[in-house]
Structures are given as structure tokens and as C-alpha cells.
Amino acid sequence: MISLMGIMAGFILSFLFLASAENDIYTRLRLKMVKNQLEARDITDKKVLEAIATVPRHLFVSPTYRSRAYEDYPLPIDEGQTISQPYIVALMTQCLNLKKGDKVLEIGTGSGYQAAVLAHLTDQVYSIEIRKNLAKKASETLKKLNYNQVKVKWGDGYFGWPEYAPFEAIIVTCAANHVPPPLLKQLKEGGRLIIPLGSTLYFQTLTLITKIKGKPRVKHVLGVRFVPMIGEAQKKNGR
């Protein structure tokens, strides 16, 4: 006669085996993504490649899209928002040229994936999300995955996070037709800010701004398409 304990032990072993097999599959997909989508293009920063090879992107999307988490395109998340294409995440991160100890501000937490990538490069990550439910869900996901060095705030990223300024780097993951002045003010001298600039309805130019002697030095990186920044930025767009 088979004991209840024996049956339970069998279920547990089966579950652990399936979980391990699933992790192996996602790990292979993630490494393939890094090789074919990032290294094959212009992502050369080894720290960025290692970070993206480590972060379990599939856990930042809904179960419906997990099989596509490592494909070469953005995916929908809650409230009409998206998780950016892996290449764009890597490119924006590489442009920031982060070092250990750098303080980085992210505007637009979304799923929390970009913040997790940043957390592999520095232990000071501050992220602002204007949608309350997204901020809550991203914070929970990050904590569940032990990204405790990421601080998530529900609020309007247009105004930055003065309490923790200045920042060595700022990354804006939503489109605006101008650089929010508070972000430039909170950027440290010599710091770098990356933002999609242009029409918030159509296409933008991924723009890298370096603060030199208090003034922005601008470099155009790539044509992109991001969801628009809302809140104060949206009000100013309407003027």
C-alpha cells in the first residue's frame, strides 16, 4: 500500500523536475537572445550583456506571453503599456555607461524589467511609475526576485525624485517632445540622460544627453517608438 507521504513526495519531486526543466528552457532562450539579438548588433558592453543574460525576462510578462519573452520585439503588459524590445533595453542601458555606485533614476517603471537590468550594474536604482497598479505590481515582482536595491515610487516622473538627486544617470522609458527641466536639473555634472524625443503619437529619436558645464550635449542614437509620457508632460504637449 502506497502511503500518503510517498504520494506527496512523488508530487514534489515531479514539480521540482518540471520547474528545473522550465528554467533550463528559459535560460537557453535568454542566452540565444543575447547572442543573436544583442551581440550580433552593436551591444558590446560585457556588463550589459551579462546583466541581460541573467535577468529572467519571462517573469516580468504575463503567463500568456512568456513563450515570447525572448523574441526580438516589445510585448504588451498591463494598462496598455509595453515591455521594450530586448535590444532597446540593452542599447539604452549601454548608453548610460554605468559604474558600480552610480545613482540612476528611471522614469517609467512599467513591468520592472529595465530596473532589474540596471540593478545588476549598480546598487542604487530609483524608479518612478505614474500608474499606481503598475508601480505596485513591478515593486512586488522586483522584491520577489530579490532586487531589493531598487526603490519604486508611484508618481509623475516629469518632476524626477529630488530627494535622491543628483543622479549620475537618468533613463526615460516613455516618449516626450521635450526634456523635462527637473530631470536636467537633477542630473549630475558629467551625467548622462537617455530619452525618446519627438512626436509622442508617431516616432521618436532615442537621444543621449550629457551634462557638460551645466548644459546639455546632445547625441542622436536611433529612431524608436515608445508609449507617451503622461501627466505633466502630456499637459505641456497640449499647449
Say which residues have a Cβ less than 8 Å from residue 124's Cβ, sequence separation at least 6.
Answer: 101, 102, 103, 104, 149
Q: What distance in Å separates the CA atoms of residue 136 and residue 80, rounded to the nearest whole number?
A: 16
Confirm whether 84 is a catalytic residue: yes
150 forms beta bridges with 125
List 62, 84, 111, 127, catalytic entry: 84
Q: What distance in Å separates the CA atoms of residue 87 and residue 127, rounded to the nearest whole number?
A: 20
Say which residues have a Cβ less than 8 Å from residue 57's Cβ, sequence separation at least 6.
Answer: 30, 69, 70, 83, 86, 113
C-alpha cell at 113: 524589467
**Active site members:** 84
